Every structure is written in structure tokens, then in C-alpha cells.
Structure 1
Amino acid sequence: MSNQNTPQAHAVTREVINGIKAQIQQAKFSQAITACQRQLENQLMPPERSELLYLLVVAQRLNGDVQQALASNARLLESNPEHARAWQENGYIYGALHEPQKSAQAFYQATQLNPALLSSWRALHPIYTQQGNERAATIAQGQIDYLAALPKPILGARDLMCEGDLHSADKVCRQFLQANKHHPEAMLLLAEIGIQLKVYGEADFILSSCLALYPDHSAAGLTYLQLLAKMAKFDDAKVLADRLLAKTPDSTVLLSAKASAMVGLGEVEDAISIYQGVLAKNEAQPGIQILLGHALKAYGDLPGAINAYQSAYRFNPELGDAYWSLANTKTYRFSHAELAAMEQLVTQKKVSQNDKIHLHFALGKSLEDRQDYGAAFKHYARGNQLKQQQIKYQPEVFEKQVAKQIDTCDAELFDRLKAVGEQSSDPIFIVGLPRAGSTLLEQILASHSQVDGTMELHDILGLASKLQGQKQQYPQILASLDTNYFARFGQKYLSDTQVYRAGAAFFIDKMPNNFLHIGLIKLILPNAKIIDARRDPMACCFSGFKQLFGDGQEFSYALEDIGRYYRAYEKLMAHWDTVLPGFVLRVQHESLIDDLHGQVKRILDFCGLPFEQQCIDFHKTERAIKTPSSEQVRQPIYRSGMEQWKHFDAHLQPLKNVLAAG
């Protein structure tokens, strides 16, 4: 609740903003400056304040007031460091001040934030040419040629997408395609927008159609590879990468995409060889060094992974991902020099927001290891705050999804459809929240001779997403689907996941978010086993808060949000217990630590598996593990993580309040 003494944000109408834009277009710069300054005296919402500051900068620059424009732009970039057009304005301003190096840096930053800024590319090209930087000039000219050749509506839509206005970009793109069916650049752009909106099924269809029509469209091929990786369709990604490599066998991007797909398929050793081959030709590729590090970590070669991550930041000292990857081994300890470098980097304006996010999380982990808990929390909080600005998570959306599952998936539905699914008992699903101990459970079960450990498979999420696209929304559509579909869905799941199996009778699907879809799983695979990995709420939620996830888990970047998510999860799991009694086995992480032998026997009994000692000696099992807990589960059971959150107790009241209210 806001304080009554806090001034109310002043609403600036579109009419006022459009009036200022008209004044600038009519060269009435002084009037536009005065109008902007008058509005900026009020308490404004951040988007309106940014827009007015930007218009002020433009008007001041065009009026010849370049120093004032520079000062106004500093205010804008202070509050919104990823405002691409503000960086473009700095390029023009420094050009007017005869500072070509600063001008080039500003235009370059603008193109990094918004690659559709044709004006910035056109400004960069003569600067690079004058500097004798032929490679950069060639890249700039290529971008100019590409963007200038785009139809104006598609260039405008690409600009909107880069500026984050995805829905407007989507609308413009669809309107263009209605009149220009199968235009390749419009199809590609619509798919890119779909990926950002996480409408992966539609993006998949568009890109596969685009490549069927235009098989040599390299940008569509690369985008499709990225999408297939996001969807965890690693077999398809490997096939596509090989197809594209047949034309350009030395492409670093394609080779690394193939290697990443192979890591996903468990072919980690061969993937490492590809990365090493790429780096043998040119080791100064920090992005490839990071990917090699991830593969080596999954393979269990931690010293090799650490060396790769360190190589990455040596080649790019600002690369936050390199520092976070080191911290995310959970065992690495930063030197004083590394700590000082990170502390300095997070204060520098030239470091990107994404790099700063990674650096703050790495600093939080490093300072926590040094028992400086107050300083550690400040960095965790700042990293989460910056990440939250990027993702704009809305907790009520998930809570509505939970409510729909509870309303739709009742006892009557399961009683009516109890025999319609695929009867296989092969899958063992491990669900719950991230950082709740699911990797440990997976390692225990995967140590059994009859169980294959796979990874966090996306297939159930993909199926739910496809059902969401029907005229009737998911999960409500489950009640009216033709009953033949359920067995077919179950068979498709088994078929699509076969590639991750190694011949054992059972296999594990460790996607934690599948707890939302237990009703769907019961209908399509009624004999599957589901294990709910449960951990003390404070320990689980705070562990999620201090973890920077590679993708997804958007709820974890604010204490209130993660608390609300946990309570919604508890509510839904209680519902499944009521309508599907005995279908889910709950394993409390703390009980597993206190009584490993007894809990392991309980888990194996639930799965219909005989006891095997190697499940107790799980830390000796050699297998690729891709989650943040990979090094922890290669050690014997430990208790040190159970109460780590208590070191931060003074900062966690917002989380406590939400959990107490639940």
C-alpha cells in the first residue's frame, strides 16, 4: 500500500505528447523544450517520464543546445540505461561536439540495444571507414543493406519489437502478411515476436513453414535453432544444424548450436570436442568458452569448466555470465582481485544491464561465502530488481492458472476419464519448486539400474501450450476433448522422449513446473509415477531468490512474488492430493537428509523398484547433470544448506509476510 504522503503520479495524455512531437516536426524547438520541461516538473510514471525526457533531448539537440541535450540525456540514461534511442541521441550530440570516438561508442551501444536503428548504422559506417576498421564497416554496411531493403511496415515492426512493444509489432506484422502472404522477412519477424511472447508452438510452425518455402534463408535457420533449443527439441535442432552445416561447414554459430543440442541429448563428450575444435581455431571467443564450461560442468570436469569460465572473462572482462557461471558451480571461491573487478564493473555505465545482473548475483554468492551477509543481500536484491525490470512478471496470472486447474480438474473428470490414457508406467515425474531438492531425488533414482536419468524435459509443457491454442482454453478443454486424444498424447510423449533414454525400463522427467499439469499427466499417462520434491518454504523460496536461472522461473525475482508462487503451488498440490489420492508421493527434503535410507526405500517402493545400495551411494554415480545443483549431488548428503536463509533473516520480512498470510 502506498504512503498517503506520496505524491500521485501525474498522467500525461497522448494528446500532450503528440503535440510536443508535432512542435519538433514543425521545427518549433523552443516551444517543445518549454512544454517538456513544464511536464517534467510533475511526478510522472516512468514510461511517460522517459518519453518526455527523450523528446526534450531531441528538441534541445535540434535547437543547437547540445550541452543541455547531453545533460538531459544523462538524466534519461540514469533511469533507463537500455533506452536505445537515447544512446542514438548521444551519438548525434558527440558528433556535434566533434568527439568521434564517443559518438561511435554511443551509436554502437544504440545498435546493440536495437539492431533495427537504421540511422545509427548509417552514422557508424563513415566513422568506421574513416578509422580504417574494415571489418566493422562491412558489418555496418551489411546491416544498412538489410534494413533498407525491408518493407517499411516490417522495418517499423522490427523497431517496435526491439523497443519492447511486442503486441504493436505483432499487429503490424500480421496486417502486412495478410496482404503479402509468405513474405520471408515478415514470417521471420512474426516468429521472433512469438518467441519473445513465449508462443513457441506458433513460432515453431511459422519457422518450419518459412524454411520449407525458403530453405536457404540463413537467418530463419539460426532463429529456428534457437527456438528448438528453448523448446528442448534437441534431436530436431541437431538435425537442422547438420543440414545447415552442409552448406557452411565452418560456421561457428552452427557448430556451437549443434554442440549445444548434443549436450541436451546427453552426447556431452562429443559436444565438448566440437567446442574445443572451434576454440582451437580462435580461442578469443568468450561466448564459446562459456558454452564449453557448461558442457564440462555437466560432464563432471569442474576444473576444466572453471578454466573455461576464467578464459571467457579474460577475453571479455565485462562478461557477467562468466563470473556468474563460476559462482553457479556453488563450490568456486573468488579471489580478492576477482571480487574487486566485479565490484568495479557493477558501477560502470558502459556495462550492460544484463552483465550487471549476472555480476550482482555472482557478488551476492561470493560475499555470502565470505559471511558478509548484509553486503551479499544488497547484491542479490539489486540483481533481482534489475532482472524483474526485464521480465515484468505478474503473479496474478499464475494464480489464475492454478484456479483454473482446480475448477476444471475435479474428481468427476478423473473418474469419467480414468481408463482413456496410454497405460505405460515408464515415466517418473519429479515436480515442485526449483531449489527444492529435485536434482538430489533424480540422482538417487537415476543411480538405480532400472531407471534412466534424463533432464528437465519440456514435452508436457509443450503439450499444454498446444492445447492452450485451441478455441476452448486449457485446461477447460480437457473436459470436452475426444477421449481418443488422451492415449495419443501419452504415446506421443513416450515417442518424443525416447531419444533421451538409454534402455532402462523407467525414466525420469525432472521438469519442476509440471506440477501445474498433474491433471493432464494423469489423463494421458494414468500409470506414471509423480514425486513432489518439497522443502521448507523459507529455505526453498530464498534459495530461488538468490539463483539466477538461465530461462523461465520468472516468479523468483521478488520476495513477494516467490512467496505467492509457493502458496499457490501448495494449494494446487493439496487439490491433487484430494482428487487423485495416492497418485503423488511427497518427499520432504529435510526428512531425506535426516533419514536417507528410510526415505530412499519409501521412494523405491512407490516406484515399484527393488532396493539397490547405489541409490544410497548416489554421489558415486557418473552421469551428465545440467542443473545448478550438479556439484552438490556429486557429494554425499549434507545438511549445510538447510538453514542458510537464517543468515539473511533481517531482510526477508516481505517473504515471511506473504507466507504467513497464505
Structure 2
Amino acid sequence: MATVTHDQALANARQLLNGDPVAALAQARAILDIVPTSAAAHRIAAHALRALGRETEAQDASLAAVGATIHDGAMVDAALALSENRLPDAEAALRARLKEDATDVAAIRMLAEVAGRIGRYGDAEKLLGRALELAPGFGAARANLATVYYKQNRYADAVAALDAVIGDDPDNPAHANLKAAALGRIGGYDEAIALYGQLTERFPEHAKLWMSYGHMLKTVGRQDDSIAAYRRAIANDPGLGEIWWSLANLKTIRFDPADRAAMEAALIAAERDAEDGGGARDDDRLHLHFALGKAYDDAEEHDAAFRHYAAGNAIRAAQLDYRADETRAIVDAAITTFTPGFFAERTDWGDPAPDPVFILGMPRAGSTLVEQILASHSAIEGTMELPDIPALALGLGRATHDEGRRWVEALAAAPREKIAELGANFLRATAVQRKTGKPFYIDKLPNNWLYVPLIRLILPNARIIDARRHPLDCCWSNFRQHFAKGQAFSYRLSDMGAYYRDYVRLMAHIDAVQPGRVHRVIHEELLADPEGEVRALLLFLDQPFEEACLSFHANARAVRTASSEQVRRPINRDGVDQWRPYDAWLGPLKDALGPVLAAYPSAPANFG
């Protein structure tokens, strides 16, 4: 059949769809007898079958159209634009295709990928849902949906979607890898570790799989196995900086001269690639700088350590482009908006459940230690750093003002019913994290300090604990730390000082307008008098004192944070005054902190 004859036949089949689906189906099948790779004919057949109520056959025809897409020049061009990250070109081509045929599931899936790449996960989810409605057996779309769920922190949904995909494609390592990562986010550590074990057996030379395996082993406290996994990953790819940083991030390991030499060699290679235009090596460079900073810090070579820390932070700061004025503006708006009268008018709003215990404050301020202490109590369950409160706040801002940062304004205008709904949504979303029958559970996300007014409003009976550490020790610890994601404020000393200062400002305001609603744990006081501070903490939570809380280091629970290995040791003062050898470089931090330094409770003991 000549091209023009083929096009005419397709046009005729499309016309028949309007009033005679039987004839349209016959025409489509006639075309396919001659051109079995005609994606358009498969789609027409799907339309006709659906009109005839033959849904199962229609779904099969839609899948056949997907398979034939590789012979469709326009779709091949769109796929090429996607692979080259020419997203506007891909989006234009795909929208044009869907204007012609809104049921082209291959085009729908690819448009969802465009949406996902630019962070429009809600749009991606809707598109993928439509693709799967038309072709439930479309495994690639379901796998994409699992990824979209994962990106939205909906890990249980991701696992459910992956179970369906893996059932159809059990040998695909990418699906198993994503499932293991998602399981780790909802406390399914045993299954995740088993999956990683199987994957590393199948792909023993895959460095990133060994690294992910090491992460999960670290989380459950199997430090020796974790180190072995990281070392195996390094043997496979000594230039992958993230593996070296993962090893450094155990905190308890010390690098020897051979390790430093290997990292320096890897850094030279990464720097050379960067000079040749290999921007993809920036992540290797920053991870190697952070790991070398740790190595030279351990060796007390502080000039070299600071040089590497500063270089790694500079790379990451350029990637993130944090704006301190945006955080300051949110804090200013919160202080202006959330007055005593505001809370008095909404006294009995929100969900009354008392179950959540929020531990918040600056990262690296001792919140993991407080969590480990409380999670050793018979009535309190530890979970992890949950993303749900920021998601609720930013979602409210986007829904109301099309801008997440305007959540303060949106919350102030929210009616009683919406406030209760937000509280219920938090409880429902975090239920998957609860693995025991304990009445209380912990959300230990430090950055929740910014959302304390929201927490007080939507969950008025929840308890809030502010973990606070000396500003120089805390901020220096952040500067030494490369975070897997978030904490964009922490890569410039001046930004970090401003962030700490804004945190103190908002918490002081909360103390004034909601007195007694936040219990503050000063890290240095906890180190000096563990039993007294733990008793005061449990009194705030209306829980009896238990000796197990002082033996927190014996608790075998999984811990995901950078302090995971540190809280498996008894209380110690190893982290106190670690900023002192670097005092000469901390001027920008001190200037940004301003009066916060002198106001800190332990100032006389810790300032030089």
C-alpha cells in the first residue's frame, strides 16, 4: 500500500468511527494486514473496540499501538527531544499528537515524563492515570507512576505500583532497586535489605547498588556490613565521590593515608574532567571534597580540611542558589500573622489526636539523640524524618495562591473545616510509619521549626520539642555535612548564620504567643545532666520516667539520619567545641548570627 493510500485508508477509518465502529474496526484491521506496524491503525482499532463495548480487546489494541510507536516518525522525534532534554520541543510535539488523538497512550506517557522532569508531579500522575485507564497492561507507564509516587514521598503507593510492575517483569533490576528504596522510607528494612542482597549478587560490579545496600545496612545498625558494602562499591568505582562521602558520613570511621591518596587521585581526575567540560562530575567533586575534609579533620590538618569543606560547599551552593531573604520573609510574615489573638480565636480547631511528637530545630543540633532517647520509652515509637508537614504547608500555599511560600497567608485564611482536614491528612499520611501499638510516635524533621504555627493549629494536642545546640557547634557541623537533599541554607556560612537567627526569632515568638507549648532541650545541658533533662522531657510528655531512656544506645531501632552511628554510643562530648580549630574562618558565620551568639544559654562556657 503506497503512503498516500495508507493515509487515505486511515482517514476513511477515522470517519467511520463516528457512526459505524464495526466498519471502522474492519478498515483498521485491513490496514494492519498490510502495515502491521501502523500505530495509528492500532489506535483506531482501540477506539472502535471501545465503542463496541469490547474493553479488554481495546486495551490490547492500545498496547499494540505503543509497541508500534517505534515506527512512527513524529513520536521518534519526540522521544529524541526527550532524551536530549529539549523539553519544550518534546512537549509541543506530544501536545500536537494528543490534539489529533487524545487516546495515544504512548504520547500520554511521554508527556507525563516531561511533566515529571520539571517537577509537575501532580500533572504527571494524572496523565499516567489516564494512560493506565486506557491500557492497564502498559508496564512502562505503571513504572513511571511508581517513580512519580516516590518523588511525591508517597512511598507506600510506590511499593504497591512496583509490585504490579515486578509481577509482569520480575527480572528488571531498576524496578527492584526503586522498590527497595521505597521500602526503606516506610520502615520495610528487612525486605529492602533482601532485595539489595539479591541485586548485588546479580550485578556484583554495580557500584551504586553496593552503595545503596550500604545505606540500608547503616540504617539498621549493621555498621561492619555497611562498611564492607561501601568498600566493595569503591573497589568497583573509586572515582564515584558519593561512595567516599557515604563512608565518611558514618562519622565513626577514620580514613588512613591510603584512603586520602585514593580520594585525592579521584578528585584530580574529576577536576580534569570538569575543566574539559564534564559538568556531570560536579557531584563527584563535591562529595570528594566533603570526604577529604573529614579525612584531614581526623588527621588534625585543619587548613587542608577547611579548604576541602569550603570547596565542596561552594559547588553545592552554586547548584542550589539558596535565598536567605525568602526564609526571612516567611518568618516575618509568621510573626506578624500568628498573634495571641489569632490562636485564641482558633482554640479548639484542628484534629484533637495527641499521637504525634514533633522534634525540630536546626539540623545537627541533637534532634536524633532526643529521638533515640524517646524512642527507647515503652509508649513512644520512633519513625524518621517525615516530609508531610512541609508538604501540607506548601501544598496549601500552592492551592490557594499558586505559590507554596505563601502558606502563612493561606493558613490565616483557612476555615475551620480545612484546618481539621489538614490535621487528619497528616495523621493518615504518616500512619504507614507506625509499626507498633505504641500510643505516640515521633516526627523528627528538624526544618519543621518553620511550620510550628501550622502544627499548633492543625494538631493542637501534639507535643513539640525544640532541640537546640550551641550556634557555632551547630552551624559548623552543618557546614561539614553534605546532605542528600534539602538544607540549601547550609552551604554558605553567612546563609547558615541567617537561618539559625531566623529559627531563633520564630521560636522566641512562639514562646511568647503560645507559652509552654514548646519544650526546649539545650544540647549541652543534656550532655551535662542526662537524667535530669530526660526526666523533664518526659514530664512535658506526661510520661513516666523509664531507665531504658538513659540506655538509648542499646536500642536497635533503625536510624536514617547522619547521626545514626553517633546515637548508638553512650552520651559523650565529642561534638562539643569542634568549631574552635576553624575559628579564624568563621567570621561570616559570626557576623550573620549577631546577637544570637551572646544570647545562647551556654555562651560563657563555649565562647572563646
Q: TM-score, normalised by structure 2?
A: 0.79
Which residue matches 2:348?
Answer: 419
- In the TM superposition, 1:479-518 aligns within 5 A as 479-501=412-434, 502-518=436-452
Query: 2 CA distance for matches of 1:178 and 1:209?
Result: 12
Deviation at 1:576, TM superposition (A): 1.5
Contact 1:318–1:345 (8 Å) recurs in 2: yes
Deviation at 1:475, TM superposition (A): 2.0
Deviation at 1:275, TM superposition (A): 0.9
Deviation at 1:397, TM superposition (A): 2.0
Which residue matches 2:561?
Answer: 627
Percent identity of paired positions between Structure 1 and Structure 2: 40
Deviates more, 1:508-517 or 1:301-310: 508-517
Query: 1 CA distance for matches of 2:133 and 2:212?
Result: 30
Which residue matches 1:589?
Answer: 523
Which residue matches 1:312?
Answer: 233
Which residue matches 2:489?
Answer: 555
Deviation at 1:578, TM superposition (A): 1.9
Query: 1 CA distance for matches of 2:371 and 2:71?
Result: 48
Deviation at 1:198, TM superposition (A): 5.1
Contact 1:447–1:614 (8 Å) recurs in 2: yes
Q: TM-score, normalised by structure 1?
A: 0.73
Query: 1 CA distance for matches of 2:336 and 2:108?
Result: 38
Query: 2 CA distance for matches of 1:196 and 1:402?
Result: 31
Deviation at 1:643, TM superposition (A): 0.5
Q: Aligned pair 1:281/2:202, yes or no?
A: yes
Query: 2 CA distance for matches of 1:633 and 1:249?
Result: 38
Contact 1:160–1:169 (8 Å) recurs in 2: no
- In the TM superposition, 1:388-537 aligns within 5 A as 388-472=317-401, 473-501=406-434, 502-537=436-471
Q: 1:425 to 1:656 in 2, by over 3 A?
A: same
Q: Aligned pair 1:303/2:224, yes or no?
A: yes
Q: 1:184 to 1:350 in 2, by over 3 A?
A: farther
Candidates 309, 319, 340, aligned match of 1:380: 309
Contact 1:522–1:528 (8 Å) recurs in 2: yes
**Equivalent residue letter for 2:412:** A
Q: 1:442 to 1:184 in 2, by over 3 A?
A: farther
Contact 1:173–1:189 (8 Å) recurs in 2: no
**Equivalent residue letter for 1:362:** A
SS in 1 for 2:465: strand
- Runs of 5+ consecutive residues of structure 1 not aligned to the other structure: 1-141, 163-167
Query: 1 CA distance for matches of 2:184 and 2:218?
Result: 11
Query: 2 CA distance for matches of 1:270 and 1:251?
Result: 17
- In the TM superposition, 1:284-363 aligns within 5 A as 284-348=205-269, 349-350=272-273, 352-363=281-292
Deviation at 1:478, TM superposition (A): 1.9
User: CA offsets per residue over residues 92-133 of structure 1, 9 Å max, x none?
Assistant: xxxxxxxxxxxxxxxxxxxxxxxxxxxxxxxxxxxxxxxxxx
Candidates 621, 627, 646, aligned match of 2:580: 646
Query: 1 CA distance for matches of 2:181 and 2:212?
Result: 8
Q: 1:176 to 1:603 in 2, by over 3 A?
A: farther
SS in 2 for 1:587: strand
Q: Aligned pair 1:613/2:547, yes or no?
A: yes
Q: 1:656 to 1:215 in 2, by over 3 A?
A: farther
Deviation at 1:232, TM superposition (A): 3.0
Contact 2:234–2:244 (8 Å) recurs in 1: yes
Query: 1 CA distance for matches of 2:202 and 2:81?
Result: 39
Contact 1:447–1:615 (8 Å) recurs in 2: yes
Deviation at 1:481, TM superposition (A): 2.1
- In the TM superposition, 1:363-374 aligns within 5 A as 363-374=292-303
Which residue matches 2:189?
Answer: 268
**Equivalent residue letter for 1:273:** A
Contact 1:431–1:531 (8 Å) recurs in 2: yes
Q: 1:148 to 1:452 in 2, by over 3 A?
A: farther
SS in 1 for 2:382: strand
Which residue matches 2:24?
Answer: none
Deviation at 1:489, TM superposition (A): 2.0
Deviation at 1:179, TM superposition (A): 4.6
Query: 2 CA distance for matches of 1:363 and 1:418?
Result: 52
Query: 2 CA distance for matches of 1:409 and 1:178?
Result: 47
Contact 2:125–2:145 (8 Å) recurs in 1: yes
Query: 1 CA distance for matches of 2:480 and 2:130?
Result: 41
Q: 1:655 to 1:147 in 2, by over 3 A?
A: farther
Q: 1:512 to 1:223 in 2, by over 3 A?
A: farther
Say how many residue pairs are matched: 515
Deviation at 1:492, TM superposition (A): 2.1
Query: 2 CA distance for matches of 1:213 and 1:396?
Result: 47
User: CA offsets per residue over residues 443-471 of structure 1, 9 Å max, x none?
Assistant: 00000000000001111122112212223
Query: 2 CA distance for matches of 1:316 and 1:237?
Result: 29
Q: 1:195 to 1:654 in 2, by over 3 A?
A: farther
Q: 1:547 to 1:598 in 2, by over 3 A?
A: same
Contact 2:230–2:246 (8 Å) recurs in 1: yes
Contact 2:78–2:94 (8 Å) recurs in 1: no
Deviates more, 1:581-590 or 1:215-224: 215-224
Instruction: Indicate the RMSD between aligned Cα atoms, in angstroms.
Output: 2.8
Which residue matches 1:54?
Answer: none
Q: Aligned pair 1:234/2:155, yes or no?
A: yes
Q: 1:188 to 1:431 in 2, by over 3 A?
A: farther
Contact 2:230–2:247 (8 Å) recurs in 1: yes
Contact 2:200–2:209 (8 Å) recurs in 1: yes
Q: 1:281 to 1:516 in 2, by over 3 A?
A: same
